[in-house]
Structure 1
């Protein structure tokens, strides 16, 4: 990575802030939205199962339906596009599609570090063969979909856009309104567009306050 690219990336990280007020007249093309979501979908995921599904809201009627589920938060309507990031509770079903091309002649080490596809698939099947009450599937869905959501916001800033993540919405109403299959759970909404007001200033803890070197002191347990 060149120093220029690295510097640009650091600028993106430092300049990305959560925006709540968007210019409703700013339009984003379908191709730009696809580019954003393609970049979001290049995020890492457990076993590369890609535990996310994106619902992109551009139509005004659909946005107003979303507004109700979003508890009246106007940014879902004013943003150029609002993306609902869903987590996949059955991401194990993606394994064949993900590793099928590899099984057709790719190198064995492409099986996510496993010696064979059978060993890989057996481990995935075992992980997902948990009791329905186990939090594993939900945790995996939220964890991996959140990685894609963060990458989506960084991609938006890199493309000169602003974004704002939202978790204060009625997930049950969202599922009912937009006929979400039980395979998916709403994780968060991301409004994307052009800001008309700067983000509210926020502070971050100094790194010295957030880092623990080599484990916690057993005396503090």
Structure 2
């Protein structure tokens, strides 16, 4: 845990990054009476969207499900995993297959921030729309799935740093989810993330030894 002085003279405590990474667990038992304030959820999401993405198109979109009735509606779609109703929120991470349509506003904001010239922006927008707008659907889906994974991990670490817990969920019926929640065709479901206050800690797990998963310079068989 580190501390630093804020502009108003208050001392703020921040969780150490490595501590957050090592202590994050997939939690499946939540306090059903705990509500995360919307400003806290916004802080977590704001940190999450600092993640990198292909051509900075930021294709992630989030459906934040907090309403108790909607969570009960989601329960059977998510294979009756109890965390869906007990967590403070379930965040559906989606990938926008037409994220290139926001290229103009994304790069215009970079110009306004002084990160690129208007000339460079115009070239970026033209090439980005041409390339991403003509991608085969399987390729476009692969890109938003990767970017969705990046933002999801960042979201879970941000939540842990603020004292909350999460569990990523791929075990749900994506077709039924899309139908039940009226998700347009342009959005690809990436995962659900249950987010809340743990009522029971997630159990620790082990990892393969580093030398079993890392190859240095060559992938020759050991």
TM-score (norm 1): 0.88
Given candidates 128, 131, 154, the residue that maps to 2:132 is 128
Aligned pairs for 1:14-163 (under 5 A) are 14-103=22-111, 106-108=114-116, 116-130=120-134, 132=136, 134-163=137-166
Would you identify which runs of 4 or more consecutive aligned residues in structure 1 move more than 2 Å? Answer: 2-7, 101-109, 129-132
Q: CA deviation at 1:36?
A: 1.0
TM-score (norm 2): 0.87
Q: CA deviation at 1:130?
A: 3.2
Q: CA deviation at 1:43?
A: 1.0
**Where do 5+ consecutive residues of structure 2 fail to align?**
5-12
Q: CA deviation at 1:209?
A: 1.1
What CA distance in whole angstroms lies between the structure 1 residues aligned with 2:62 and 2:201?
26
SS at 1:26 equivalent: coil
Identify if the C-alpha distance between structure 1 residues 48 and 30 changes in structure 2 by more than 3 Å, giving closer, same or farther.
Answer: same
How many residue pairs get matched? 212
Aligned 8 A contact 1:164 1:192 in 2: yes
The alignment's C-alpha RMSD in Å is 2.3
What CA distance in whole angstroms lies between the structure 1 residues aligned with 2:140 and 2:208?
32
Aligned 8 A contact 1:130 1:136 in 2: no
